[in-house]
Amino acid sequence: MQDIRAKILSNEKIRPGYFKMALDAPGIKRGARPGQFVQVRCSDCLDPFLRRPFSVHRLGPLEILYEVAGRGTEILSGKKKGEWIDLLGPLGTGFSLPMKNTGSRAILIAGGIGVAPLVFLAEVLAERKIDTIVLIGVKTKNLILCEKDFKATGAEFHIATDDGSRGSKGLVSKLFEEIIDTPKKRPADSTCSRQDIKVYACGPNPMLRSIASICEQEGLGCEVSVEERMACGFGVCLGCAVKLKGKGGYKLACKDGPVFSASEIAWQVI
Amino acid sequence: MARSEVNIGRLRLKNPVMVASGTFGYAKEFEGLVDLKRLGAIVVKTITIKARPGNPMPRVCETASGMLNAIGLQNEGVENFIEEKLPYLSSLGVPIIVSISGDSIKEFCNLTKRLDKEKGVDGIELNISCPNVRTGLKAQELIAQDKDATYDVVKNVRRLTDKTLITKLSPNVTDIVEIARSACKGGTDAVSLVNTFLGMAIDIESGRPKLGNITGGLSGPCIKPIALRMVWEVARNIRRPVIGMGGIVSIEDAVEFLLAGAKAVQIGTANFIDPGICEKIIKGVERWTKTGSS
């Protein structure tokens, strides 16, 4: 983890309320893995006070994808190429990656802005020649993000919209159930068994809860990237606790996560 | 003795800048970000006799120029601390002050007895003022809100150790000088103030408190004027050293507290937003003590 002053290379509005910022941050580029994040100071002033966490969206150069959700991201959206911001990172654990060419298959599931870390993941999986399916769920077609980026990795791509304006109508969890039930996904002569399918999900907690439940029923390994209110972001304040099942107590989203195995989380309290 | 050195009880600090309990973990988290050997002292995250899981989420929320926290003293307990965390801390060559909290005088005493045996522990800070757990001898009250309870805890703990004892005061009181005086009467080597101010925030979308614990402790730049006033009041009314804290985020802030009468300062919440801040403040304070300008 490093605390670096990074230069803004671009800050592009990709949709109303959604921006993609590219940063010259060589120290962070070297170590980052899909699933990790950076803590960004949105202002050099004391208000807004805390840093904001953003997943590593892509590398080469470092990119973050963010929604303007409050004062910090509002300020961030106004920054221009050539300006500087402080970044701490890379932070947290990344997604566990299958080895190259093992015949494994990955299903990536994103809800809304949850696409952010999954583009990086999809790119790395493509490099490892892992057969990948991407499912994204949004409220309506105008909120679809990163479609081109996912398709560019060669992944199979499906959309679910709450209002049916594109793709399947309904939640992405419903789309997920349909995908895994489709006979061609489990052909009798498939060399890809249940054990070789890994699900990776990122999105609102209710979505993660549903995906986790389906994966448990279907016997599919699943990793989720959770989002919790954070203060420090590097394991010191103990603010971002994630409750574990049984006597597991709490783990920290910033240090032990944000990626967790879905089966270890106490979903009833999340 | 170099000009920036200070003595507090039996502690010799190379400079008057410490890091505050709950904001620096057990120091290893800052390896690589801070030259830990430069710190005046490290006050570790509060330890309790048994492990504590901490409060339900959400535990933190941002406020104007600050934040609320209701962590709830999550920690692995004293034995785990001694076995897993203390060896690294002792290797740093920096005074290590262990913050302790208990549900009763007996627990404070048991913790002190246990830590007194450890060579790596240089001092003990009595956290009688955390607003996020219930440790008061009377229901709903903190020990630090009651001058007699404060006196009792300090007096009982004092008997059990010669190590430097620091009592951390709560600002959620009518008269902090009175509490400070009780701690001194009880035999504390120094007082540290302030712990966090009790506060809350409400999410207007859900209509519910933003913290799972409903209330939490307020810290950060927004509390500095009140913390500073309290440090000034206590410092002019007791003889023992005062360690000042509350919203210090810059060299200038630290100097203000020293001018208010603090013998040393603690940097807390600032560590969350700028992990290297304590080192910057140390350099600035050392410059100030040498040259009179920061």
Domain ranges (residues) in chain A: 2-91, 105-264
Please name the member of A234, A239, A249 whose beta carbon is closest to the beta carbon of B71: A239
Please name the member of B24, B59, B220 whose beta carbon is closest to the beta carbon of A49: B220
Q: Answer yes or no: pTM beyond 0.90.
A: yes
Residues of chain B with pLDDT under 70: 1-2, 134-140, 294
Contact A47 B65 (CB under 8 A): yes
pLDDT at A174 over 70: yes
Residue B186: give its domain's CATH number.
3.20.20.70
User: DSSP secondary-structure letter at B289?
Assistant: H
pLDDT confidence tier of residue A192, bands split at 50, 70 and 90: low
Contact B60 A239 (CB under 8 A): yes
Within a domain: B187: yes
Q: How far is A77 from chain B (nearest CA, A)?
A: 20
Would an 8 Å CB–CB cutoff place B64 in contact with chain A?
A: yes
Question: Ramachandran region of residue A140, left (φ > 0), alpha (ψ -120 to 50) or beta?
Answer: beta
pLDDT at A188 over 50: no
Q: Is B280 exposed, middle or buried (0-12, 13-18, 19+ CB in 10 A)?
A: middle
Within a domain: B215: no
Within a domain: B286: yes
Q: Are B153 and B128 in contact (CB under 8 A)?
A: yes
**Domain A105-264: top CATH class:** alpha beta
Question: For A217-246, what is the mean pLDDT?
Answer: 95
Interface test mutation site (partner B, options A1, A2, A238, A255, max chain B beta carbons within 10 A): A238
Give the nearest chain B residue to A45 (CA atoms). Answer: B65
Q: Which of residues 218 through 277 in chain B touch A, CB cutoff 8 A?
A: 220-221, 249, 271-276
Within a domain: B67: no
- Tens digit of each residue's pLDDT (9 = 90 or more) over A103-123: 789 999 999 999 999 999 999
Q: Are A41 and A85 in contact (CB under 8 A)?
A: yes
- Tens digit of each residue's pLDDT (9 = 90 or more) over A236-262: 999 999 999 988 789 999 999 999 999
Q: Which two tokens stand for residue B235?
A: 């410092």
- Tens digit of each residue's pLDDT (9 = 90 or more) over A25-69: 987 767 799 999 999 999 989 999 999 999 999 998 999 999 999
Ordered alpha helix ranges (H), A14-136: 26-31, 71-77, 115-127
Would an 8 Å CB–CB cutoff place B26 in contact with chain A?
A: no
The rounded mean pLDDT for chain A is 92
Long-range CB pairs of B255-258, under 8 A, 24+ apart, other chains included: B255/B284, B255/B285, B255/B288, B255/B294, B256/B224, B256/B228, B257/B228, B257/B231, B258/B16, B258/B285
Quote the pLDDT of residue A29.
Answer: 67
Contact B272 A228 (CB under 8 A): no
Quote the pLDDT of residue B134.
Answer: 61
Residue, of A191 and A187, whose pLDDT is higher: A191
- Tens digit of each residue's pLDDT (9 = 90 or more) over B29-87: 999 899 999 999 999 999 999 999 999 999 999 999 999 999 999 999 999 999 999 99
Instruction: Out of B61, B109, B130, B222, pick the active-site residue.
Output: B130
Give the nearest chain B residue to A236 (CA atoms). Answer: B25
Within a domain: B173: yes
pLDDT confidence tier of residue A187, bands split at 50, 70 and 90: very low
Contact B53 A237 (CB under 8 A): no
Q: Which of residues 164 through 183 in chain B touch A, CB cutoff 8 A?
A: none
Please name the member of B63, B65, B272 whose beta carbon is closest to the beta carbon of A232: B272
Q: Rounded distance, CA A89 to CA A28, Å?
A: 6
pLDDT confidence tier of residue A196, bands split at 50, 70 and 90: confident
CATH number of A2-91: 2.40.30.10
Within a domain: B209: no
Give the nearest chain B residue to A230 (CA atoms). Answer: B60
- What percentage of chain A exceeds 70 in pLDDT? 95
Within a domain: B32: yes
Q: Are A236 and B60 in contact (CB under 8 A)?
A: no
Query: Which residues on B lie below 8 Å from A50 (Cβ)?
Result: 62, 67, 272-273
Could you tell me the residue range of the domain that residue B112 belongs to? 6-54+72-198+220-291
Q: For residues B229, B233, B239 and B244, what is the CA-based torsion angle, rounded to 10 degrees? A: -20
CA B65 to chain CA mean position, Å: 20
Please name the member of B33, B61, B221 whose beta carbon is closest to the beta carbon of A229: B61
pLDDT at A164 over 60: yes
Number of domains into which chain B is organized = 1
Give the nearest chain A residue to B65 (CA atoms). Answer: A47
| Tally of residues, chain A | 270
Please name the member of A46, A237, A241 whose beta carbon is closest to the beta carbon of B65: A46
In the annotation, is B278 catalytic?
no
